[in-house]
A and B are shown apart, each in its own frame.
Chain A
Amino acid sequence: MTKISVDRISKTLDGLHTLADISLTVGENEIVVVLGPSGCGKSTLLNIISGLLIPDSGTIKIDGEDWTGKTTRVSYMQQKDLLLDSRSILDNVTIPLLLKGMPKNEAHDYAQSYITDFGLEGFEHYYPRQLSGGMRQRAALLRTYLFASDILLLDEPFAALDAITRRKMHLWLLKLYKRFQTSILFVTHDIEEALLLADRIYILSQRPATVRCELLIDKKAGVTAAMKMDLLAILEEESDDNHL
């Protein structure tokens, strides 16, 4: 079943033709990675899917329903954790529940049941400033998950972390994905990350971005060096002139 269907989205932002006729789908319990050169409009795409931006043309359907330009169905997570300094970790992750009208005690209990799986045990009452980058990203992910648990939109969520922490976060995300069975749309410019996580990869062209090709990954068969080279070649082709 299709969770998200992006149908022929175009968008011009500040006079810049950013997205041109993008179509893609995310199935149930699937990790789809959107891979593209930096500055190609990946974040714009997520802004449109989450309803923060209205596309010039095209539609966004979630579970078959039209959500074009409408917020509150899905939220997304960024490279910046955007946790509030003024609230403890537990009070940060429960914000989406409170906004939906859940009483505070109930929200705390509900969030508490996920704290261990998200690797935040013992840190619920710390302030974000007191935690490491990896832990803050896990808290941000929990907040995103508590807002809409069936779909996670992730915009280069681990890009600001160091290599070792990032690696750990990848494995942890895969574990989490197996346990909670959600649909993930993951945006990145990192090929390794894409190959490690994805069931399917969409490669975007440079601006105005459109889907250049789609790639199915057989996780059991593993990723070959040749595939990596191919991907690299395509990305290099797409990012050569304008962005150096």
Chain B
Amino acid sequence: MEANNTTDKNISWLKSGWWLILLVAAGIAAPYVISEFYLLILGEALIMSLFALSFNLLFGHMGQLPFGQAAFYGLGGYGIAMLMTKFQINFWLSFLAGIGLAALAGLIIGIFCVRLRGIYFSILTLAFGQLIFVIIYKWHDFTGGDDGIQGVFPPEFLKTPIAYYYFVLLVFCIAAFILWRITNSPFGYILKAMRENSERTEFLGIPIARYQLTAFVISAAFAGLAGALWAPFYRSVAPSTLMWIKSGEPVMATILGGAGLFFGPVLGTFIITFFHAYILGFTHFWAIIMGTLILIVIFFLPGGILGFIKEKIDNRKKTDQ
């Protein structure tokens, strides 16, 4: 029985491995196939997907809904932007520092938040997120306030849209792979156990708060990575990147794509980003259409779109047997 099961898993891994390889190949070929406009949208979708994956480490895998994720995303962006423009530090160091800044903020905020569960956790993360937003928004002399920071340029060899797109694709693939490994590691399993029953898990000898904090810091670091990718991509950062509306984006993307599956948030982000870019071409009321789509998913596909597809495939496998 055990042997059967592992071979089953290997086969399904191979199968899923194939579509992954195809997707990466499509990503590499994209600059030669699609227009520059859609290449920019694709880059944005990848960065936002990474942001959504960082969110889902806490939401889907650990079972807590953080609503201040944009603070870490924005800090990653502000970190790289300020170090480069105000202190003339080189791109790569600023890039790493942006991630470090987000992780540090995650550690400090996390210490307060991980003691809470459910709605209280969400609200406290929202409050801290807005606090960081207000600090950056109001501190005009240092952060540029509502003007934001302009002139955040990537190094010379990454300046063309195609080169930067490849950089984003590479970072996305590496980051997604690391996050995927984490969710399947013993640590990731314990996050699942805490989601399912934290009381039981504590009586297995797990200090719940410390594990939640570790996950919180990892999540903040990856959100910061997404932000640090975004600033040079957009050549600037604005305080809106830290705002609660931004925190809502990964929530919607994850619900749309499916929180229970690793790639659910990626699918959701791609749908939202491309939908937005496409529909904006002929109406400003894109939010109404998007809202309707999300309502439909919540009512009819509670597992998200990817969850629905997986269910169909699993059912077909069962009937085949």
Instruction: State yes or no: do A and B come from one complex.
Output: no
